[in-house]
Amino acid sequence: MVATCRRMNESGINQGTAGNLSVRNPDGFLITPTSLPYDRMQPEDLVQMAFDGTYAGRHRPSSEWRFHRDIQAAREDIDVVLHCHSVYATTLACHHKTIPSFHYMTGVAGGTTIRCARYATFGTQALSDAAIEALEDRLACLLGQHGQISLGRTLAAALALAIEVETISRLYVQALTLGEPPILSDEEMARVLQQMKNMSYGQAPDLDGVNDTARQRE
């Protein structure tokens, strides 16, 4: 977890002590402490939390512990919640813009859009409720006038998704300078999502024509 936090800053998707990270474990979840710079953080600084909101450790948990707890409780399909203030995702979030399927890679978040949650004060139950709503059937969302959340089974997966969300956000901001970009149809995005699902299972894409020249040697 500590290495992932440092990688968040090194990759440019987070700055200073902003952002936070949690990982499910048998006793609830581990979460990063509040207001401790990542370059000074050590494994013993991580905070153990239970789903009833109690915690143990030398530090207080992140001020955003509520949405970490609620997402972990609601989503058995994931084990990691990563929150950061990446610049382009936050730029869109400041305008409450949902990212549409202007590019097929929007599908990495699990649907045809990357939603933007309504604004709520940081650290509140209202923000947690808004995040849960925006993450329905998704692995990532923006938080209105705040930042982004990305989910995963593993630390590596959550970090990779957060970086991808930032990349897609940057592309969308740049595309908007030329006007509203055309949007891929739901039918096309259904094909994209199926391709991504196949690839996540280690299978090559299998749509007509894709594998005409890519065959495994016998």
Q: What is the CATH number of the domain that holds 121?
A: 3.40.225.10
Number of domains in the chain: 1
- Pairwise CA distance, residues 110 & 120, whole Å: 24
pLDDT of residue 181: 98
pLDDT in tens, the chain (218 residues): 999 999 999 999 998 888 999 999 999 999 999 999 999 999 999 999 999 999 998 999 999 999 999 999 999 999 999 999 999 999 999 999 999 999 999 999 999 999 999 999 999 999 999 999 999 999 999 999 999 999 999 999 999 999 999 999 999 999 999 999 999 999 999 999 999 998 875 555 555 555 555 555 56
pLDDT of residue 202: 54
**Whole-angstrom Cα Rg for the chain:** 18
213 within a domain of the structure (yes/no): no
Return the SS3 of 110.
coil
- To the query of whether residue 64 is one of the catalytic residues in this protein, the response is yes
Backbone phi and psi for residue 185, each to the nearest 5 degrees, phi listed first: -70, 160
pTM: 0.91
- Pairwise CA distance, residues 183 & 169, whole Å: 15
Helix (H) or strand (E) holding 117: strand 116-117
Domain that includes residue 174, residue range = 2-200
- Residue tagged active-site, from 10, 44, 64, 187: 64
211 within a domain of the structure (yes/no): no
124 within a domain of the structure (yes/no): yes
66 within a domain of the structure (yes/no): yes
pLDDT of residue 24: 98
- Pairwise CA distance, residues 17 & 45, whole Å: 14
